[in-house]
Structure 1
Amino acid sequence: MPMTHAIMFPPRTLIWITLILSYSIYIVKIEASSAATFSPITKSKTTYSTTATLLRISGGDSSNSVDRADGDGDSNTKKRKIVIGVDGGTESIRACCFDAINGNIIGKSHAVPYKTSHPKPGWAEQNPKDWYDNLGAAVKGALASIPSDNGDEHELCAICVDTTCCSVVALDSSNEPLRPCLLWMDARSAPQTKEILDRCKGDPSLLINSGGEGPISAEWLIPKSLWIKQNEPDIWDKASTICEYQDYINFKLTGKMVASSCNAAVRWHWDGEECLREVTNDDNDEERYPGRPLSMYRALGMPELVEKLPHKCLPMGSLVGGLTSEAANDLGLPEGLPVVQGGPDAFVGMIGLGCIYPGQLCLITGSSHLHCVVTAQPNTAPGTWGAYRGAPLQGTNFAEGGQSSTGSVIRWAKALFAGDDTDYKTLDAEAEKLPPGSENLIALDTFQGSRTPVTDPLARGALVGMTLSHTRGHIWRALMEAVCFGTRACVDGLVSAGHECSEIIIAGGATRSPVWLQMHADVTGKPVVLCENADAPLLGCAILASVGAGIHHNVEDAVESMVRRLRRIEPREDVAAEYEKIYENVYVKLSQMARPVMHAIAGLRGGGSNGRKLVKSDGGGHAPM
């Protein structure tokens, strides 16, 4: 029997909620009109409203299809549908409003910084409460930036949050933090990574990284959980929940503790498809906790971790729930506004770049390079991480490669050779005058070690072939080329594992250098695509929010409408041929020959390899031992 409840709210606001339970489908109808908020900047009144919203969510279908109906307001008033994207980064949390139909930015993004503490070398912590408090300020700032002088009304449709990945939180039985979070960059659990590889050798869940050869990163949730258990047993015993930034924020917004299947697949060693099955009350743990690495937890002596992690998992773009009244008040948004599942910032960025089809490679550039290629099959092999099943989206897979030092090398060179008196454009212009190969000056980009296709933390950078005729421009070009050669090696490693790449969609700092963009295309031999909106994580959240709110039927449709390509940079055939010779005959061989020298240097300063096995790619000798 349907039940209808009429609830009185403050003047000018009336919400009818109708719950209809039929089989596994439930319908929620929400109407909120004239919910007013005031801009602290313009001091003018901007009106936001959520019209009558019909949400149809199948209990057995995690796509959570959502149908929207018109509200009861003035039919002559045109309302622009808006979604809010939120990016919880390392240094700040940012919010931005987007047109839910075409992806255009409405107003401006607003960032609110938070503090990171470093109690000991290699440690990095943040206060989870700062994330939530600053989220409210960021959202209010983004809303305040919406122009209010054109008379338009705006319909807020949904909000979606991405966050840093592997920022681990321990919560008590009331879901309050027991300690500061272990931020993603916190490396205190390095000893636990070796313990995991030793104690769990041969475990199927480890096959996802380089065919079981590792590495396990100190950044990831399981090593950090093991560190807490071993070093802070009181905290561990009191912790009812171990989760991440993403899960904590969604809980604060909706009161529901759920994991993102993308995050779980990529960094928790979960099967990103299996984990979406509903948890049952079956006595068999494998059925109660599908897709979880239970054998790994048992081998590590912490089988209870499966109980502490979120029991429910949702794919990106599905509905987590509606804003609670408390969260609505804290963010200045209507109660019940749909909160849509996001995920790790970099992988939400894949969505924001439209990188969702097999053969597309997303290249996120910054201090380091991250290469994520969407692939048809969840194959894994030495020299690659993944492919991860059910990530970034349900029904897809992707594999990744990485370079530890890329943009950081360029910043180092500028500080060393140019300082503040010379800008990047001047240095690029000097490099552009020179031929490929920088007149026989070759560099290695592994200043901070190597991630893939050879995982070697002791690898270091080099400049080889220096003469007295070489100038600052030569060094600058050689370093830029070295980063591109490293990208080529990562792409080759992915291809050798069966993950073909037809184009590179790029975002981040490298997009500001036309010379470097062209160099990436020439060295890899792949077209490089630049999108109109380079702020991929925020746009990715907007895309997911629009799908979760039913504005677009699926992510594919949303990407088609909201992501626009700015230009496509093709490799130049003659230049690419020159780089091919340099890469095969010099860079690859130099990488091989330099490795034992780098290890010997590390041994001199007391940082030898300690017998650590290097992980290599099988691909055509491009990542040899």
Structure 2
Amino acid sequence: MEYILGIDIGTGSTKGVAVDLQYKPIGSSQSFYPTTSSEPGYSEQNPLLIWEACCKVITEQINLRGRSPKIISLSCAMHSLIAVDSGGEAIIPMMTWADNRAANFADQLLSQGSGIEIYLKTGTPVHAMSPLCKIGWIRSHLPEVFSRTEKFISIKEYIWFKLFGVFEIDHSVASCTGLMELDSLCWYTAALNAAGIQEEQLSRLVSTAFYRAFPEAIPGMEAVTAGVPVVIGATDGCLANLGTGAIAPGIGALTIGTSGALRVSAECSRFNKEAMTFSYRLDEKIYINGGPVNNGGIALKWQLKNILGTSQLREEDYETAFRSVSNLGPGADGLLFLPYLQGERAPVWDARSCGVFFGLNLSHTSDHMTRAVIEGICFALEDVLNALERSGQQVDRIHVSGGFVASAVWLQILADITGKELVLISVDDASAIGATILAAKAIGLESDYPMPNIKEATRIYPDKQTHKKYMEIFEIYVALYPALKEQMHRLHKLSNNPSSAGLL
């Protein structure tokens, strides 16, 4: 059987998903790798382990199928940065999207006024996550590393160089760097100046449909037949829209994993300067506008492990938690949760914000707290949805994917809070499937992007009365952060100042 292999290079693992020529999954392999934090605010990975994971999942799928795929296509997580030498080897560990050490650089760029101009030209929020800010931090704090660096690249460029020996970057990954002008699809000189680099220190820009033939004798990938087209692909977020069929007007794509993001496709960029919603590229014609949140499934995991004391979380622990909150009404009997456990990105963009239970009293139980956490995650996504709609982006229906959305209870709460129809397309393979769809069009198997058949997909509809109740609660939710922001920052300063350690 002929098949296409989509490779999704994620933050926690790389997954290879094989689909038939109707884009139905026929098998998958997954390989995990660790994230380390050598200092507070650091989030680092060894890119060589990620390369080995790619080799492993590709080889496993070929061995299972008994033949090489018709096409291989790549998806990857956004905002990674690797400083490499001329041989493509990492000089320091890779900085992931969650690395926060460039927060001060981002604040300074925004305070100078040039930050907003760069945001409006590149579509990438000025934040510690962006490669622009990471490069600026390296230049200021690691000058020796900066001077030794031949190229600043993403994890996909690292894999691509391992395969083909050239530095090339697709327009989708480049659109998430804060360094590429969104409309012209060229490196943006003002952003490069802000980072302190030249265009020669970045990879050559290519289309997301660009491909090369798999070379002879790549160690670790001997199973791949030479000549198989390898499509460079796009980012995981943009490809999740494609994989869930959310590239038509009015259809949003929501991914909830450890973090979360809501995205809508459009023919042009749309900005909300106050909320710094992003605008990225799927290809030369399609923009993906949206907003990310830091705290998705990780907040519920924190509640179950750290608060309820479940040491080893299993699937049944989540099922028990959802059953326990299903009998509680909207608002958890007056308990709200601001889910900023890892700081927050859209719409507040505040790394110094923190989580808050609000309204806690003696009548509340652990079940109330769990429901408040779930509702808090959904309120955060509603906050992003409102920001998108205020920018003129219409959202009538939301296609949902991600490993933390299998619960009917969670989905109903999300539908009731957003007031939107939800369509559950795929549990956790949307980006890899999107990569296979993009690849089919890239090499001419399709004249346009084929859309998934959603007639049999699970649909969840909001309850109008419950939505009305939630909107009253949401007014309180959105008022909490502005009211507490100053005190959050004071507490953050105290807790991160060694001389104040004894005060807390």
What TM-score do the two structures reach when normalised by structure 1? 0.72
Q: Which residue of 1 aligns with 2:53?
A: 134
Alpha-carbon distance, 1:104 to partner: 2.0
Alpha-carbon distance, 1:524 to partner: 0.7
CA deviations 1:125-164 (Å, max 9, x no partner) are: 4343333333222211112223x6xxxxx67311011223
CA deviations 1:462-512 (Å, max 9, x no partner) are: 333333333332222222222222221111111111112111111123312
Q: How does 1:203-602 map to 2 (within 5 A)?
A: 204-207=117-120, 216-275=126-185, 291-300=186-195, 302-304=196-198, 306-314=199-207, 316=208, 318-327=209-218, 330-388=221-279, 391-415=281-305, 416-417=307-308, 419=310, 423-532=317-426, 534-555=428-449, 557=450, 559-560=451-452, 566-584=457-475, 586-602=476-492
> Contact between 2:81 and 2:155, CA under 8 Å: does it hold in 1?
yes
Decide whether aligned partners of structure 1 residues 439 and 239 sit closer, same or farther in structure 2, where only a CA change above 3 A counts. Answer: closer
Partner Cα distance (2:194, 2:301) in 1: 43
What is the SS of the residue equivalent to 1:141?
A: helix
Partner Cα distance (2:54, 2:28) in 1: 12
Letter in 2 for 1:362: A
> Contact between 1:157 and 1:549, CA under 8 Å: does it hold in 2?
no
How many residues are paired up? 493
Letter in 2 for 1:312: L
> Contact between 2:122 and 2:181, CA under 8 Å: does it hold in 1?
no
What is the SS of the residue equivalent to 2:324?
A: helix
Partner Cα distance (1:269, 1:198) in 2: 19
What is the SS of the residue equivalent to 2:248?
A: coil
Alpha-carbon distance, 1:340 to partner: 0.6
What is the SS of the residue equivalent to 2:31?
A: strand
Alpha-carbon distance, 1:82 to partner: 0.9
> Contact between 1:260 and 1:341, CA under 8 Å: does it hold in 2?
yes
Q: Which residue of 1 aligns with 2:71?
A: 158
Q: Which residue of 2 aligns with 1:189?
A: 102
Partner Cα distance (2:363, 2:49) in 1: 54
Partner Cα distance (2:329, 2:376) in 1: 14
What TM-score do the two structures reach when normalised by structure 2? 0.88
Partner Cα distance (2:121, 2:485) in 1: 26
Partner Cα distance (1:96, 1:544) in 2: 14
Moved more, 338-347 or 522-531: 338-347
Partner Cα distance (2:278, 2:356) in 1: 31
Partner Cα distance (2:107, 2:187) in 1: 21
Q: How does 1:44-63 map to 2 (within 5 A)?
A: none
Decide whether aligned partners of structure 1 residues 156 and 482 sit closer, same or farther in structure 2, where only a CA change above 3 A counts. Answer: closer
Partner Cα distance (2:243, 2:48) in 1: 28
Partner Cα distance (2:373, 2:142) in 1: 44
Q: Does 2:9 align with 1:88?
A: yes
Partner Cα distance (2:77, 2:32) in 1: 14
Letter in 2 for 1:340: V
Q: CA RMSD in A?
A: 2.9
Alpha-carbon distance, 1:199 to partner: 5.4
- Segments of 5+ residues of structure 1 without an aligned counterpart are 1-79, 149-153, 276-290, 608-625
> Contact between 1:253 and 1:339, CA under 8 Å: does it hold in 2?
no
Partner Cα distance (1:328, 1:547) in 2: 29
Moved more, 257-266 or 229-238: 229-238
CA deviations 1:212-253 (Å, max 9, x no partner) are: xx9522222222223333444444344332221112212322
> Contact between 2:119 and 2:125, CA under 8 Å: does it hold in 1?
no
Q: Which residue of 2 aligns with 1:46?
A: none
Alpha-carbon distance, 1:324 to partner: 1.1
CA deviations 1:388-414 (Å, max 9, x no partner) are: 26x123212222223222322212222
CA deviations 1:282-335 (Å, max 9, x no partner) are: xxxxxxxxx3221232355x242x111112322x2x132111113387241111
Partner Cα distance (1:329, 1:592) in 2: 52
Higher strand share: 1
Decide whether aligned partners of structure 1 residues 481 and 336 sit closer, same or farther in structure 2, where only a CA change above 3 A counts. Answer: same
Letter in 1 for 2:97: W
Moved more, 499-508 or 445-454: 445-454
Alpha-carbon distance, 1:262 to partner: 1.0
> Contact between 1:355 and 1:362, CA under 8 Å: does it hold in 2?
yes
Q: Does 2:23 align with 1:103?
A: yes
CA deviations 1:159-191 (Å, max 9, x no partner) are: 011223222223333444444433333333334
Alpha-carbon distance, 1:564 to partner: 7.2
Partner Cα distance (1:95, 1:202) in 2: 37
What is the SS of the residue equivalent to 1:84?
A: strand
What is the SS of the residue equivalent to 2:435?
A: helix
Decide whether aligned partners of structure 1 residues 92 and 427 sit closer, same or farther in structure 2, where only a CA change above 3 A counts. Answer: closer
Alpha-carbon distance, 1:84 to partner: 0.9
Decide whether aligned partners of structure 1 residues 81 and 172 sit closer, same or farther in structure 2, where only a CA change above 3 A counts. Answer: same
> Contact between 2:210 and 2:233, CA under 8 Å: does it hold in 1?
no
Letter in 2 for 1:514: A
- Segments of 5+ residues of structure 2 without an aligned counterpart are 498-504
What is the SS of the residue equivalent to 2:351?
A: coil
What is the SS of the residue equivalent to 1:554?
A: coil
Letter in 1 for 2:242: I
